Amino acid sequence: MVTHKIEQAQPHSRPRRRELPIRFGTRPSTTSTAPHSQIDQLPTRPLSSALLERLARLPGVVHGPSRRAPQGTIGLHLQPDDAHRPDRAFLIDREFAHVHAHGDSSLHLILPEPLRSEAIAAGWAEPHPMAGHPTVSPDTVMVYAPRDEDELDVVANLVTASWRNARGNDDGHSEQSRAESCSGRT
């Protein structure tokens, strides 16, 4: 199995080295226009609720309506005192990620380099078609909907890396902290 190295840790613990696995199969088909959506390889049992439950454990995160996605999309927003990065670390305002919980179950989030390129190369993400346009961070990606519990763990790690980046705890270049796990698994 081909893998990419990432870090895994609880939000407040020291990361340990872990591999970012290559996503099984081909990339899903997606739309090239707004709203940027995943068309196929949708989970038979959406795991959005389980993902949001895990992400609710991250300090300073508030779930609410997304300000950058269709109605029903759940945004992950940082409390004002927790948002320490420039606009590039956010989709809009203090929203660093959102989950299309009532749609295709895909996510949009900000991933700093080099993790952004690693997640794309490993088949977990693709650049947002508007990334780099005015008001859209060049680090914006779509992360494909998790199809099973193992994929849910990887996606949770990627979202947690986005959270850490938005808080100013990691810029994506650190060897010690590129992605963290909020899965609660040991």
Length of the chain: 186
Domains in the chain: boundaries: 46-186
pTM of the model: 0.83
> What is the predicted pLDDT for the residue at 170?
59
The C-alpha atoms of residue 17 and residue 71 are separated, in whole angstroms, by: 38
Asked if residues 39 and 29 have their Cβ atoms less than 8 Å apart, the reply is yes
> What is the predicted pLDDT for the residue at 46?
83
> What is the predicted pLDDT for the residue at 19?
75
> What is the predicted pLDDT for the residue at 4?
43
The C-alpha atoms of residue 95 and residue 75 are separated, in whole angstroms, by: 6
- Show pLDDT as tens, one digit a residue, over the chain (186 residues): 344 444 443 444 444 445 799 999 999 999 998 899 999 999 988 899 999 999 999 999 999 999 999 888 999 999 999 999 989 999 999 999 999 988 899 999 999 999 999 999 999 999 999 999 999 999 999 999 999 999 999 999 999 999 999 999 854 444 333 334 444 443
> What is the predicted pLDDT for the residue at 103?
85
For the domain bounded by 46-186, which CATH number is listed? 3.90.1150.30
The C-alpha atoms of residue 36 and residue 45 are separated, in whole angstroms, by: 21
Helix (H), strand (E) at residue 52: helix 48-55
Torsion angle of the four alpha carbons 127, 128, 134, 138, in this order, in degrees rounded to the nearest 10: -30
